[in-house]
Amino acid sequence: MTHVHVVGLGMGPQHLTVEGAAALRAADYVLAARKGDVDELLEVRRAVCADHGVTLVEVADPERDRDQAADYPAAVRDWHAARVAAYAAELGARGGTAAFLVWGDPSLYDSTLRVLEQVADRVPLTWDVVPGISAPQVLAARHRVVLHEVGQPVHLTTARRLPEALACGQRNVLVMLGSEGSLGALEALADWSIWWGANLGAAGERLVAGRVSEVLGEVRTARAAARAAAGWVMDAYLLRAPSAGEAVA
């Protein structure tokens, strides 16, 4: 029986927890996907493994069809199926105790747990999960804000689904999986506040905060600069409607 520790790394090695480090040291090896020829996040994982005396085993990551935008769940399913086959082959052949180093937290917009459930149909497998710091938390920490007003909700969703969150009346929304194009939806929220961040926790981190109408241009510029500097960009942002008091004033 192969066992897997699914370890949330947080948004960088500075976020590794005491129990995350212990899980790494208890593992025989770490499986990590290689995406393309240059993979900065793989190199971060490699350094973390070296620090904790555990071997990193690379698995070539299948290509994800990002043009299949009209059927997002299907695109994700296909990509998962290819990952399942690749991980099942490695875990079946190696056995023992493996670990995965998940960027952020395994419970939020990450596929590792769903992939493992399918790997377990092919290879005898048990697993546990160690939580990690997620992008919304780093965003809030950098801007020194709470994610909601006192006693109020926060709605976490994807940039793709932001319009439906707004349509159903959400007034405090944390958005992940953004894209350049999806920022257009913010133009309708001129008097809302935004706390935005890109490549949070990494060297090329960018932050912008203010009233949407005043800072949306700055957000677009900072997003492009983050991508230019790092070769990749992931952003997250908190949107909050003006309070009743502000709207009256």
Binding site for a second copy (CB under 8 A): 6, 8, 10, 13-19, 72-73, 76-77, 105-110, 113-114, 127-134, 136-138, 140-142, 144-148, 150-158, 160-161, 165, 168-169
Q: Which is nearer to a second copy, 149 or 180 (CB)?
A: 149
Question: Residue 131 CB, nearest distance to a second copy (Å)?
Answer: 4
Q: What is the β-pairing status of strands 206-211 and 193-198?
A: antiparallel
**Residue 18 buriedness (CB in 10 A; 0-12 / 13-18 / 19+):** exposed
The residue written with tokens 């990690």 in the block is 132
Over its C-alpha atoms, the chain yields an Rg (Å, rounded) of: 20
- Reference 62, options 41, 32, 102, 34; nearest CA is 34
Give the C-alpha separation, 37 to 39, whole Å: 6
Phi-psi region of 210 (alpha: psi -120 to 50; beta: other; left: phi over 0): left
Q: Which is nearer to a second copy, 37 or 73 (CB)?
A: 73
Fill in the DSSP letter of residue 28. S
Q: Which is nearer to a second copy, 94 or 114 (CB)?
A: 114
Helix or strand run (H / E) with residue 32: strand 29-34
Q: Which is nearer to a second copy, 43 or 117 (CB)?
A: 117
Question: Residue 217 CB, nearest distance to a second copy (Å)?
Answer: 27
Question: Residue 194 CB, nearest distance to a second copy (Å)?
Answer: 16
Question: Residue 83 CB, nearest distance to a second copy (Å)?
Answer: 14
Question: Residue 38 CB, nearest distance to a second copy (Å)?
Answer: 25
Question: Residue 165 CB, nearest distance to a second copy (Å)?
Answer: 6
Amino acid at position 126, single letter: T
Q: Which is nearer to a second copy, 145 or 225 (CB)?
A: 145
Give the C-alpha separation, 170 to 162, whole Å: 9
Q: Which is nearer to a second copy, 54 or 190 (CB)?
A: 54
